[in-house]
């Protein structure tokens, strides 16, 4: 050891530094194309941020395996906003002033996303909100694009399932009292009425609510023949459980947002026979669905993907498709959103933006039911 004197050490480290500098220079062109993600990793909505990550990472693996984007890697930097508008606006400024970022994804909640919209719009960076169903989100400007399934599209499908397929005539609607839940409820109620059903009671509940027994007594007294849940999986499971506990035996139909293995885990026996209108299902023959599910299970130890995983996965693939056309110029990327055609998508089959609304129409539809603790394609038999 004593043979190694200071000079050799210096020489060695100099050589190493030179090597590092060289390797950086050689791959300078291969710096990844960077996307900014603003979303919750801590705070009350943290679970959704972690689901996004899973979907993103899977999509990125596939994109990299397919040679990246014109030979360059695609990558993202995830900034935690806690879904708080105060933090999402700061993140927006950070992304806008970071020249490496070519496109932004997120945020999760409407207050956080739409508070940041003016900054993205003025900064000329596309805000690609893939879970933003608020009807005014894309009205923030021509840099706001969304692949979130429009509730104007989705809810009539659920209404058709409940009223036409299942033959329910008197519906009780329970919805999350958020911008998403309210918008969805209105679309659902209108569609259900058009199909000839009657809405006998609607109840909005706040996201933190856990006890629904008294709400369900109200529902019981309205004497419906079916319950419709415009809920996320955790509250949807709670309602289903408590509905059975207070003795409601009616058919339950739920929006696609409950489509998650967690819904089955949290709901247990109580979610058996719950009908769910979804955008894809495991036995779907479409290659993009099979790819997604197989890849997801492989990457995450057999875990089943859920709706939010799928949204994130689709969003990352869409971002890649857009960048393939638009390159890395922010404005060209915005223009590319109008140009992408028929991007393979789990949710939409193939996705093409409607340039007027900056959203995508025509989500896929599958009518599922929970049988033996699993989501299965509904066989047309009444429950």
Partner 1 sequence: MSSWLDYTINGLIVGNVYALVAVGLALIFGVSRLINFAQGSIYLVGAYIGWVAVVQLHTPLPLTIIVVAVVAALVGLIIERFGLRPLQNSVRIAPLLATIGISFVLDQLVMLTFSPNPRALPSQLPDVRFQVGGGTIGPLDLLIAGVGISSALLLFVFLRYTKLGWAVRAASQDRDAAMQMGVDVNRVNQTVFGIAAALGGVSGLLVGMYYNQIDTAMSLQATLKGVVAEVVGGAGNVPGAVVGSMLLGLVESYGVAVFGTSYRNLFAFLLLVVVLVLRPNGLFASARQAPPEPLTGTFIAPSRPLRIPRWALAVAVAAFAILPLLPVSFYVLQTLINAWLLGMLALSLTLVAGTIGQVSLGHAALLAIGAYTSALLSLTLNVPVGLAIIAGGLMSAALGTILISPSFRLRGHYVSIATLAIGEIVSLVILNWESVTRGPIGISGIPPLSLFGYDLISPASVYWFAFAVMVVLALLQARLLGSHLGRSFRAIRDDDIAARAYGLSLNRYKSLAFIFGGFAAGLSGGIAAHLYSYINHETFNTQQSILALTVVILGGLGNIVGAIVGAVALVGIPEMFRIAAEYRILIYGIVLLLLVRFRPQGLLGTI
Cα–Cα distance for residue pair 272/254, rounded to 1 Å: 12
Of 118, 198, 294, 374, the one binding partner 1 (CB under 8 A) is 118
Report the nearest approach of partner 1 to the CB of residue 297 (Å). Answer: 17
* C-beta closer to partner 1: residue 90 or 200: 90
* C-beta closer to partner 1: residue 7 or 210: 210
Report the nearest approach of partner 1 to the CB of residue 381 (Å). Answer: 26
Q: Are 158 and 184 in contact (CB under 8 A)?
A: no
Of 122, 298, 341, 374, the one binding partner 1 (CB under 8 A) is 122
Of 24, 139, 164, 341, the one binding partner 1 (CB under 8 A) is 139
Report the nearest approach of partner 1 to the CB of residue 367 (Å). Answer: 26
Report the nearest approach of partner 1 to the CB of residue 208 (Å). Answer: 5
3-state SS of 44-61 is: CCHHHHHHHHHHHHHHHH
Cα–Cα distance for residue pair 31/72, rounded to 1 Å: 7
Cα–Cα distance for residue pair 296/286, rounded to 1 Å: 16
115 binds partner 1 (CB under 8 A): yes
- Nearest 5°: the CA angle 242, 245, 250 is 80
Cα–Cα distance for residue pair 121/132, rounded to 1 Å: 16
Site for partner 1 in 170-189 (CB under 8 A): 174, 177-179, 181-183
Helix (H, G, I), strand (E, B) or coil at 383: coil
Q: Are 153 and 123 in contact (CB under 8 A)?
A: no
Phi, psi of 301 (to 5 degrees): 50, 50
Site for partner 1 in 38-67 (CB under 8 A): 41-44, 46-47, 49-51
Measure Cα distances from 269 to 135, 258, 296, 374, 377 in Å: 36, 16, 26, 11, 18
Site for partner 1 in 275-334 (CB under 8 A): none
Phi, psi of 169 (to 5 degrees): -115, -25
Structure tokens at 16: 């190493």
* C-beta closer to partner 1: residue 46 or 377: 46
Helix (H, G, I), strand (E, B) or coil at 201: strand
Report the nearest approach of partner 1 to the CB of residue 229 (Å). Answer: 13
Report the nearest approach of partner 1 to the CB of residue 44 (Å). Answer: 4
Report the nearest approach of partner 1 to the CB of residue 164 (Å). Answer: 28
Site for partner 1 in 252-271 (CB under 8 A): 262, 265-268
Q: Lay out the site mask for partner 1 across 188-227 (x = CB under 8 A, - = otherwise).
A: ---------------xxxx-xxxxxxxx-xx-xx------
111 binds partner 1 (CB under 8 A): yes
């Amino acid at each position: 050891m004593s043979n190694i004197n200071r000079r050799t050490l210096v020489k060695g480290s100099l050589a190493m530094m030179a090597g590092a500098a060289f390797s950086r220079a050689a791959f300078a062109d291969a710096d990844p194309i960077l996307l900014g993600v603003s979303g919750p990793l801590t705070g009350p909505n943290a679970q959704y941020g972690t689901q996004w990550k899973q979907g993103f990472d899977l999509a990125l693996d596939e994109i990299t395996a397919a040679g990246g984007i014109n030979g360059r890697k695609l990558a993202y930097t995830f900034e935690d906003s806690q879904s708080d508008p105060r933090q999402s606006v700061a993140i927006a400024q950070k992304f806008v002033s970071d020249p490496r970022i070519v496109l932004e994804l997120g945020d999760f909640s409407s207050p956080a996303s739409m508070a940041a919209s003016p900054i993205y719009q003025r900064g000329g960076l596309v805000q690609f909100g893939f879970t933003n169903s608020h009807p005014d989100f894309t009205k923030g400007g021509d840099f706001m694009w969304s692949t979130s399934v429009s509730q104007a599209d989705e809810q009539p499908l659920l209404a058709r399932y409940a009223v036409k397929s299942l033959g329910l005539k008197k519906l009780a609607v329970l919805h999350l009292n958020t911008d998403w839940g309210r918008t969805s409820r209105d679309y659902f109620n209108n569609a259900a009425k058009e199909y000839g059903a009657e809405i006998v009671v609607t109840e909005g509940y706040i996201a933190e609510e856990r006890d629904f027994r008294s709400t369900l007594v109200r529902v019981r007294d309205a004497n419906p023949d079916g319950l419709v849940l415009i809920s996320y999986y955790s509250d949807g499971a709670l309602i289903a459980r408590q509905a059975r506990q207070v003795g409601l035996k009616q058919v339950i139909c739920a929006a696609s947002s409950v489509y998650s293995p967690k819904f089955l885990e949290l709901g247990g026996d109580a979610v058996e026979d719950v009908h769910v209108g979804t955008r894809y299902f495991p036995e779907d023959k479409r290659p993009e669905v099979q790819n997604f599910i197989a890849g997801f299970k492989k990457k995450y130890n057999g875990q089943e993907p859920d709706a939010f995983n799928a949204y994130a996965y689709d969003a990352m693939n869409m971002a890649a498709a857009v960048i393939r056309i638009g390159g890395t110029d922010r404005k060209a990327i915005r223009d590319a959103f109008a140009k992408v055609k028929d991007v393979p998508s789990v949710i939409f089959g193939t996705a093409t933006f409607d340039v007027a609304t900056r959203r995508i129409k025509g989500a896929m539809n599958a009518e599922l039911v929970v049988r033996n603790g699993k989501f299965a394609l509904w066989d047309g038999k009444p429950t």
